[in-house]
Amino acid sequence: MGVGIALHAIGDSDGAIAAYREALRLNPALPNALVNLGNALAAKEDPEGAIALYREAIRIRPDDANARRNLGVRLMEKGDIQGATAEWHEALRIEPDFAAAHSDLGHAYLRTGDLDGAIREATEAMRLDPRWGADRMNLGIALSRKGRYREALSHLREAVEMNQPGSIPRQEFVQSVARMAEVEARLPAVLQGTAKPADAAEWAALARICAQRGQHADAARLYAEGFAAHPRLADDLEAGHRYDAACAAVRSGVPEGRRRALAWLTADLAARTGSADADAALVHWRKDPDLASVRDRIDGLPEAERDGWRKLWADVNAALQEK
């Protein structure tokens, strides 16, 4: 098997594959040879062959964390995120300090929108092995989606400095995070009432940061104040600020928030009637989990609120059926 490893190291994939196959002919029950052959086949764009070899290695040695990690990588490439994450969880059960498995799991969480999971796993991967820029990039992306732009910017800049292929965030993205980090710095003063947003764009950006952080009542309040100060902000259907405001207001979980949300969605529905993207927008409304409490669980709302929400969704359905 050492011959195969040496040949693989110098880039002779065909020679490495032949050497691993010979090692397995002499002893078919060598898990390391199976994994190495699987890696070589994956490099030759034979993922199915690689997957079969990883599974055989695991059959022989179920506690082979490396085989499970590699199997997860190949499953992820096929789009089987559930299967991949299951293998990485098992690899980490066997070897809790397996940095590569933490890194892979963090990337999967980022793809599926589990931002807390992505942050946790990327942070752990960096603690165990700080050499890779991909974890810094993924951590920066996840933090930015959580509204923690200043933290995100630090990690993104570190990823750029490491200059590793596949781990360099787009310059435009870094610049946008830098702009949001500047806005974020003003948020405490705005929430305390000692400062006001400079313009409509800053009002919307601060509201968005609050919503990303889960401060939904603050987000709804900032949106409401922004709409009052800059009415065109609410009417920008392409930007979708009024819809975002409604989602934040619903998620605030208070009657006043739901009252505002109903008014905002009613206005948005009227404004979208006849627009080119009306169908796509309204279909999204009917699926958006942010609105589930006022769409799928209307009977659980206070009685005084139910008729208004029932009418809104009836109007949404009617608008879609008219097309």
Q: What average pLDDT does the segment 3-15 reach?
A: 56
Measured CA to CA, the distance from residue 134 to residue 140 in angstroms comes to 10
Beta strands per DSSP E along 194-281? none
Torsion of CA 228, 202, 193, 212, to 10 degrees: 100
Residue 98 pLDDT level (bands cut at 50, 70, 90):
very high
Q: Which residues contact 208 (CB under 8 A, 6 or more apart)?
A: 147, 219, 244
38: tokens are: 């699987």
Architecture of domain 2-184: Alpha Horseshoe (1.25)
Question: What confidence tier does 283 reach under pLDDT thresholds 50, 70, 90?
Answer: very high
26 vs 119, more confident: 119
Q: What is the pLDDT of residues 219-274, one digit of tens each?
A: 999 999 999 999 999 999 999 999 999 999 999 999 999 999 999 999 999 999 87
Q: What is the pLDDT of residue 10?
A: 46
End-to-end CA distance of the chain: 65
How far, in Å, CA of 195 to CA of 137, rounded? 33
Residues in the chain: 323
Q: Where do the domains of the chain lie?
A: 2-184, 194-321
Q: Label residue 19 by pLDDT band (50, 70, 90).
A: low
Average pLDDT over the chain reads 92
Q: Is the pLDDT of residue 12 over 70?
A: no
Q: Does position 305 have pLDDT exceeding 80, yes or no?
A: yes
* pLDDT (0 to 100) of residue 38: 82
Residues whose CB falls within 8 Å of the CB of residue 20, separated by 6 or more in sequence, listed in order: 1, 4, 33, 36, 37, 40
The pLDDT value given to residue 31: 75
Share of the chain above pLDDT 70, in %: 92
For the ranges 3-7, 43-47, 57-61, the lowest mean pLDDT is seen at 3-7
Assigned token pair, 49 = 């062959």
pLDDT at 4 over 50: no
Task: Give the whole-angstrom CA distance, residue 124 versus residue 104.
Answer: 11
Check residue 2 and give its pLDDT: 57
pLDDT of residue 36: 80
Instruction: Return the SS3 of 311.
Output: helix
Burial 165-192 (b: 16+ CB within 10 A, else e): eebbbeeeebeebeebbebbebbeebee
- What does pTM read for this prediction? 0.85
Residue 8 has a pLDDT of: 56
At residue 41 the predicted structure's pLDDT band, cuts being 50, 70 and 90, is: confident
